[in-house]
Every structure is written in structure tokens, then in C-alpha cells.
Structure 1
Amino acid sequence: MSRSLIPLGRRSALGLLLGLAAARAAGAGEEHAHAHAHVHAEAEAAPPGSAAIRLRQGIPDARVTDSHRRRRRLVSEVFGGRVVAIDFVLTDCGTFCSAISAAMAGAQEALGPRLSREAGLVSVALDPFGGTPEQLNEYAARFGAGPAWSFVNVPETQLDEVLRSLGGPIAGESHSPMVVVLDPLRREVRRLLGIPSPEAIANTIEAALAARKA
């Protein structure tokens, strides 16, 4: 499968530049704190890059609330058997969240019609109280999120279990930037640590889709 992707549109490219600028403007001290932040133990042994890693445990099919106030099951309805790129957001984050969301927007544009049918994007709110549907909807609009990009709030009682199953950050603590590409059918994840480019996210989704056909 070809790894070349269409160029980013002007809106996505501008969003990525603005997001990266916001992350840099946060200052070296805050960057240092985030770089040494905690992730769940399942992620600590994971190699960087896009190598596939088998899930150690099942992902809870939690009943989440999305940015449109819909109550949906995370695994069976939001993921829906598709390959999904997942990031973890705080809607009031002043550092790298905007940069990662801009990269997700670029991946959305690059993947085009493959989204919804075969793949999707999911942003999980790390603050179960601050990530209200209204806040998530406003945040999603800033990045031009389309219908294949879901923003969800996981109930506090299940958030930690969901994050742990994905090897994601620990809720309530400073978190390391990452995007997780999940294939729920093959029970595999591919983790992109740091702030990935739109091409890296899209190419990792393509790699997961290709693995299904191999």
C-alpha cells in the first residue's frame, strides 16, 4: 500500500503551525515536566514508533457521552470495529494538546473518505468533570472535526480502566503527549509518542488497515 498522502489543506497546516507555536510558548519548564510525566505501566514497556503491540487486557465498553450529548458505548459504537487513532485531551490545555489535535485534523484531511468506513479518530477527555459536551463541542469546532472524529467523556468510575487498557496517561496527572492507533478486532495498538505529524498518524492507521488484509 502506498505510503504517500495528499498534502495538508491550508486550514490544517495553519492549525498545526498554531498548535506547535502554542506548545513551544508554554516554556521549557512545563515541557520538562510533561516529558517526565506518568503513563500507565502497560505503556512503559512499549517501544516508540508504530510497532504493533498486543493488548494485555480488554477495553471496557464504557457508556460514554460525546460532544453532541449522545450516550454511546465506547468499543461497540464509538470504535465500531474500525481502526481508530486516539488522543487524550484537556480542553483548557495550553501546551501540546492543541498541537496534537491539529495533527489529528491533518490526518483527518489526509485520510479523507477512508474515515467512517474503515477508520476513525477519537479524542478522550482526561478531565471527566471539565470535559463537558459543550466544552468538547467547542474544542472540536476549533479543529474542524468531521463526523468521523468523536470527542468523548468517559465516566470517572471507568476512565482509569479505559486509559490503563490502552496504555494511556493517568487521569488527574500531567501526561506525556501521545497518539494511540487501535485495531480492536486484532487487539493491537500502535503508539506514537510525543507530538506526531499528521502523516505519521495517517500512515500508522494505513499500516493497521494493511495488517488486517495481510
Structure 2
Amino acid sequence: MTGPLSFGFKRAGWPARVLALITLFATAQALATAGSSRWGSEYFPNVELTNQDGQKLRFYDDVIKDKIVAINFIFTSCRAICPAETARMRQVEKALGEQMGRDVFFYSISIDPDRDTPEVLKAYAAKFGTGPGWQFLTGKEEDVILLQKKLGLWVTDAQSIDPKDHSINLIVGNESTGRWSKRSSFDDPKVLARLLGESLNNYRFARATPEANYAAADHRVEFTPGEHLFNIRCKACHTVDGSGAEHVGPDLLGVVERRDAAWLRRWIKEPNVMLEEEDPLAMALYRQYRELPMPNLGLSDKEVEQVIEYMSTVGKEGSKISDSSPSASDSATVPGS
């Protein structure tokens, strides 16, 4: 060993060496604590929240401390993007598998505490079939606003006018390491699951993957604009392959042929307006699918046409509707979205 430190160790006896090591360790611990405290109890408010089971929780002590979490803000009466956000996170939940509730925890916090009581939140969670690792929380309005601001999810201009005009992003992070990231709720579910289950876990639970081989790589897949839109906006709730797989909404294979074209365009464009008008078919679909409203995805007329074209093309490529898929004769089984 060479250098100033080695010189000191050579001349000092063992007590001095032990003292030096203790000092170095204590200094390292102090630096680590100072570095992480910025995102610890000194930063996050320890406000009281209530979950869907009526249990009282403290935000820092019970919700995020020493945990890997994903946090977003919703309200259950939302007929815009909230249902799609929740459905997308449900896909992430499924991708995490047994890590959900063990290594990773989800929290959806209501921004409408007057309406979203624990009972309402519990019913909302049941509609999506969420698991025990995902809690829905409510609290005082001023505390919820404080949390939005501390988590970087407060939309200053919009929410100052209408508190419900909220961010559709979510925060993912590991409180113990101080690593936090803002992500879109509509990121690829597998990417979010890998971030939460592996990266933020310091790869303790990394899945074994074979060594990359360019020769064996899949060919590049080209998506049409409509297919891309369907994948990022519609796929959280629907399939379009005739599989009859369980989703928030039903499979949509053949829906273009079974629905009136004008009705279908409007249903995709402004489903919230049609529900407010109590369109008979829209209301029938709403009641059939656990009263989860089709969200307004903010698609342009061109994007609506692209999605319809994609669904129509899938139906023309030889796919067949399975026996478990909705029949064309049942007017309330296949929504036009």
C-alpha cells in the first residue's frame, strides 16, 4: 500500500487503525444519509390518507418508505382518460406477476375526495380486478394537492382553474435509494414492469435472458398509423383478434362490419358526450361492462379513421371470431371502440 494513507497506517498501532476505519465508515454513512435525505422524510409530507378498506395510512411512513412504488392520481367519476390509465396500469400489474405486492406497490390517489369515499374506491378497484398490491387512496383535498406538487404531477396552469384537469403521468421510484422517475401511464407495460421489477430493484430480480444474437433477431415490424394508435390507446382495454380474452372491454374483431359507420366514428371520437346524451347503444355497453365508461382519448378525425381502418384490415386478413366472441345479433355485446 502506498500514499499518505498507507504511511499513516504503517506508523500507527492497531488502535489507531481501528479508529481510522471507524471514522471513515461514519463519514461514509453520513454522506450517504445526506445524499438520500433530499428525497426522504424531510422532503415527502407524511400526510394521512385512507385506503379503499378504510385503513388510515401515512404517506411517507406507510406508503413509500423503503418501497418501490408507482403512484398516479385519478378520480372515479372521470369519463376522460382515467379509466384508460387504470387499465394500462393493470397490464403492468399483470406483467409484474408475483412481484406485485411483494417487491412493487401501486397507489392511485383520488383528486376528488368528496366523492371518492373508501367504498367508492373499493368498487372502482373491483371493476378492474386489481390485486392486493394496489391500493386506492383518498385524503383531504389540500393534502392531495400537496402530494401532487411534491411528486411533480401538479399541472400549474390547468389545475389552478380546474383541479380535475390533472396530469396523466405517474411517478415510479425507490424511496430507499432515492431514485425517482416520471413516466407516461401509456408507456409500454412491459417496459414499465421491467423498470419497476428490475432496474429500480437494482436488478436483484433480473430475469435470465439469452445472449443477444443479431442473426436470430426478429425482422423489423412496421406498424400502420392505425395499428400504432390501437396499441398505445386501445389495447389496454381491448383485443382485436377474436380470442375472447378477458379484458376491461371486449374483443373488437369485426366491429367495423357490425356497427353503423357514423355511429362508430362518433363513439370513438366522443364517447363521453354520447353517454351524457344517453345514447341507447352507448348506455347498453356501459351497463354491460361494469359501468366503466369508454374514455375520450382525444383522437382527431384523422386518427379515428386510422383506427377504424386498422380494425377493418385485421378483419380482412383471415382472422375468425372464436365461439366465445360476441355474436353479431346481440346489440349490446360489442362496443364500437
Q: TM-score, normalised by structure 1?
A: 0.67
Deviation at residue 212 of structure 1 after TM alignment: 8.2
Q: Which has the higher strand share?
A: 1
Map 1:107-146 to 2 at 5 A. 107-146=92-131
Q: What stretches of structure 1 of length at least 5 have no aligned partner?
A: 1-53
Residue of structure 2 aligned with 1:179, choices 167, 170, 180: 170
Larger radius of gyration: 2
Runs of 4+ with deviation above 3 angstroms: 54-57
- Which secondary structure does the structure 2 equivalent of 1:116 belong to? coil
Residue of structure 2 aligned with 1:196, choices 174, 183, 187: 187
Map 1:16-165 to 2 at 5 A. 55=39, 58-165=43-150
Deviation at residue 131 of structure 1 after TM alignment: 1.6
Q: Structure 1 99/121 Cα, relative in aligned 2: closer, same or farther at 3 Å?
A: same
CA–CA separation in structure 2 for the residues paired with 1:164 and 1:126: 12
Report which stretch shifted further, 173-182 or 121-130.
Answer: 173-182
Aligned residue identity for 2:202: A
Residue of structure 2 aligned with 1:207, choices 199, 207, 216: 199
Aligned residue identity for 1:192: R
- Which secondary structure does the structure 1 equivalent of 2:135 belong to? strand
Report which stretch shifted further, 98-107 or 171-180.
Answer: 171-180
- Percent identity, please: 28
For residues 80-106 of structure 1, give each alpha carbon's deviation from its aligned partner in whole angstroms, at most 9, with x where no partner exists: 421101111110111211111111111
- Which secondary structure does the structure 2 equivalent of 1:199 belong to? helix
- Which secondary structure does the structure 1 equivalent of 2:202 belong to? helix
Deviation at residue 173 of structure 1 after TM alignment: 4.0
For CA contacts below 8 A with separation 6 or more, give which structure has more relative contact order. Answer: 1
Q: How many residues align?
A: 160
Q: TM-score, normalised by structure 2?
A: 0.44
CA–CA separation in structure 2 for the residues paired with 1:139 and 1:173: 17
Deviation at residue 157 of structure 1 after TM alignment: 3.0
